């Protein structure tokens, strides 16, 4: 596989995982409800462990310091996502997916169907180790962090504007 394509796949997966993990930590309610509906043991610890593993895996995909560990982390996440989909399907439950934050889509076939993609990503990490190393990986992590900061800023901007309008309305009301 050409090096640029490998980097693009890894960077895309890293961005997705970083976004998913930070969303789960920033708004944990929906993910906790999903875990409760799945009736998995240790849901309190998993509410933090899964997003932290997603974030750590994103960083490993970007920097690639240890390909074997990175592939293992990708595989564990892929299997856990497919397992959640299987639990929902086998239980006949309509469980909301909190994969990327709030979602009205149910857990199920989609998570199972994505398992081969997670497996392919793990294999890619093991096979194509020609990508970024050391300082280049740190630049990639910085770019991921910057991209995430921009996304967060875009989400906060409308709230800041709304707050400004509300504050002005209250201030004008107090003056008159």
Predicted confidence (pLDDT) per residue in 18-48, tens digit: 889 988 888 888 889 899 999 988 888 999 9
Say what the pTM is.
Answer: 0.74
Indicate if the pLDDT at residue 17 is higher than 70.
yes
Would you say residue 131 has pLDDT above 60? no
pLDDT exceeds cutoff 60 at 56: yes
Q: What is the mean pLDDT of residues 126-135?
A: 65
For residue 153, the model assigns a pLDDT of 67
pLDDT in the model for residue 83: 93
Q: Which residues contact 138 (CB under 8 A, 6 or more apart)?
A: 63
| pLDDT beyond 90 at 165 | no
Q: What is the pLDDT of residue 93?
A: 86
pLDDT greater at residue 176 or residue 96:
96
Give the pLDDT mean for 123-133. Answer: 74
pLDDT at 88: 92
Q: Which long-range contacts (CB under 8 A, 24 or more apart) does 34-40 make?
A: 34/84, 34/95, 34/96, 34/97, 34/98, 34/107, 37/88, 37/93, 37/95, 37/96, 38/84, 38/87, 38/88, 38/95, 38/107, 39/87, 40/87
Q: Give the Cα separation of 39 and 43 in Å (integer).
A: 8
pLDDT at position 59, please? Answer: 87
pLDDT tens readout for residues 96-127: 888 877 666 889 999 999 999 999 999 999 88
Q: Give 75-87 pLDDT, tens digit per residue.
A: 999 999 999 999 9
* Alpha-carbon separation of residue 137 from 69, 93, 173 (angstroms): 16, 41, 53
């Amino acid at each position: 596989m050409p090096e640029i394509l490998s980097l693009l796949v890894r960077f895309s997966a890293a961005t997705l995982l970083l976004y998913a993990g930070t969303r789960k930590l920033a708004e944990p309610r929906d993910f906790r409800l999903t875990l409760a509906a799945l009736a998995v043991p240790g849901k309190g610890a998993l509410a933090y462990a899964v997003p932290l593993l997603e974030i750590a895996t994103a960083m490993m995909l970007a920097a690639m310091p240890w390909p074997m560990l990175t592939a293992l982390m990708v595989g564990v996440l892929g299997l856990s996502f497919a397992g959640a989909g299987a639990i929902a399907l086998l239980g006949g439950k309509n469980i909301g997916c909190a994969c990327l934050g709030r979602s009205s889509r149910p857990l199920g076939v989609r998570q199972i169907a994505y398992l081969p993609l997670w497996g392919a990503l793990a294999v890619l990490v093991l096979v194509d180790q020609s990508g970024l190393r050391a300082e280049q990986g740190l630049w990639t992590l910085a770019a991921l962090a910057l991209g995430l900061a921009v996304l967060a800023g875009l989400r906060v901007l409308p709230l800041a504007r709304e707050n400004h309008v509300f504050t002005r309305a209250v201030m004008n009301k107090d003056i008159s």
